Structure 1
Amino acid sequence: MSKKPPPAPPSPAGSVEPASNVPRAEYTVDELARVTDTTVRNVRAYQDRGLLAPPEKRGRVGVYDDSHVSRLKLINHLLTRGYTLANIQDLIMAVDEGHDLRSILGLETAIGGRWSRERPKKYSLVELLRMFGGNASPGVLSKAVDLGLLERDGLSFVSSNPTALAAGATMAKEGIPLADLLDAVSIARPHFNAVAKALVDLVVHQLDRYDADALPPPADVPVLVDAIWRLRPLANVLVESEMNRALEEASGDYLGDRTAAIMEKKLGHPADSPSTQRAKTKKSKARK
């Protein structure tokens, strides 16, 4: 499917579009349902009720974008908080009539849109076995599903992040046991969730200038939307930079410890590893 940005679909909520230089992802109805954790039936029903803008038509195929993703996330969020579809429909009607709620809904795409531009990809069991060199046992696949790395789709599996899946397959082929790799993901995920929460707080900090129970003035919305779209990729850069720093430090510690052990065993010459030296430096500073 072409990556050329489609013209904006008519929106019943008058959502403010993202900055023009931000690429827009595209989805089929099945992909849209999958990335928003809903069903195709619900997507159709929301369109029929006027809660969701219709897709752009390209021949017989309907093409959705991130404005639909953020709207569905908003609907799901309101439903989990106890609002009915009738309540949400009243909300959308109020927006159409020009009430102040338009301001907060104008930010939905900037804040609630997907951060990843990857398109979900379906794999057969044979394809997964080929990718992972025959190491994709039923237990491993079940754990990957539990972690949300794969989703069952009949006899096939769907990955919402094919690039990460390919990276895991390469690591498995290099000899890293899949079970250990999934354990590492499970251990690291709460820490990533905490980092993500901190960075999202930074990005949407632009809203903190307003009272918690007040909406931004409509005139401020375009500036806020533009600022949030510019901050989002910078948050990703910060995460990558810090992850690279941590990986370099961890691998350096391991190499230093291994080298020190070799020197002590083979040469009879004890030596402090980089990690030991850093620990001593911290203790020394603490005493001062």
Structure 2
Amino acid sequence: MAELARLAGITVRTLRFYRERKLLPPPRREGRIAWYDDHHLARLRTISALLERGHTLTGIAELAEAFDHGRDVADLLGVGTPSEEEPVRLTPEELAARFEDEVTPDNLAAAMDLGYLGTDGDEIVHISARLLDVSAALVREGIPLAEVLAAGARVRAHADALAQLFTDLVLQHAAEVDLQRLRPLARTVVEAELSLALDRRLNQPADR
């Protein structure tokens, strides 16, 4: 315990306090000896970083619980690594730095339920660098992260319906086609239609 506290830059008394607050997973025990590892050190460094950013110990404990019970990255990537989207690995403090005080247990759970986030040891994995960047950009514009995630769930439902429409269309009329060739065609249609829809919305009078 003393060695772990020294490496983490805290006192043994503080380490015991964190254990009492269940901020730290229990050590591996061999008889009367308790062994700590890099996982415990990473958690302590995360706690220190979150405290420096203004998070309370109560909030950190809630985040730790959500993190420990979150979806494993194997579940997140259960269908295989996305063919076009690039997953991003983040430490909890890096995630907090992107979204500041918007990283709450409820938002973390919502992002995991949506399939945006999974856990891999002490790291968080986001399914898509592009979705991560645009989510952070929307939050910087003043939109609460909870509403960004709620909108993401609605977009996911529409995207699934569009994907079904295009695959059904191709399979109905060209059963021998390689469905991978459908990707750029479908993406072009969706991007063009969305662009036109935004034009229509943005050109409407303000009172409509």
How does the TM-score come out when normalised to structure 2?
Answer: 0.56
- The yes-or-no answer on 1:135 pairing with 2:80 is no
Instruction: Check conservation: 1:143, 1:182, Cα contact below 8 A.
Output: yes
CA distance in 2, matches of 1:173, 1:37: 31
**3-state SS of paired residue (1:257):** coil
Contact 1:203 1:232 in 2 (8 A): no
Change (3 A) 1:144 1:247: same
**Matched residues in 2 for 1:166 and 1:187: separation?**
18
Partner of 1:257: 206
Q: Which has the higher contact order (CA 8 A, sep 6+)?
A: 1
**CA displacement, residues 8-42 of structure 1 (integer Å, 9 cap, x when unaligned):** xxxxxxxxxxxxxxxxxxxxxxxx9677517xxxx
Instruction: Flag the 1:36–1:184 CA change in 2: closer, same or farther, 3 A.
Output: closer
| Partner residue in 1 for 2:153 | 186
1:125 matched to 2:92? The reply is: yes
Partner of 1:247: 198
What's 2:187 paired with? 236
Kindly provide the amino acid, as one letter, of the partner of residue 246 in structure 1.
A
* Counterpart AA for 1:141: L
Matched position secondary structure for 1:37: coil
Residues 141 and 134 from structure 1, CA distance in 2 versus in 1: closer, same or farther, beyond 3 angstroms?
Answer: same
* 1:135 Cα deviation from its structure 2 partner: 1.6
2:117, 2:125 within 8 Å by CA — same for their partners in 1?
yes
Contact 2:118 2:124 (C-alpha < 8 Å) held by counterparts: yes
Amino acid aligned to 2:137 = T
Report the equivalent of 1:107.
Answer: none
Deviation at 1:257, TM superposition (A): 2.8
Q: Partners of 1:149 and 1:229 in 2: how far apart?
A: 23
Mapping of 1:1-288 within 5 angstroms? 36-37=77-78, 116-208=83-175, 224-225=177-178, 228-253=179-204, 256-258=205-207, 273=208
Distance 2:200 2:92 in 1: 38
Counterpart CA distance in 1 for 2:187 and 2:107 is 29
Unaligned 5+ segments in structure 2 are 1-72
Q: What is the aligned residue count?
A: 136
- Partners of 2:85 and 2:127 within 8 A in 1: yes
Task: Write the distance in 2 (CA, Å) between the matches of 1:164 and 1:35.
Answer: 15
**1:242 aligned partner, one-letter code:** E
| Identical pairs, percent | 33
Aligned equivalents of 1:35, 1:141: Cα separation in 2: 14
Does the 8 Å contact 1:122/1:159 carry over to 2?
yes
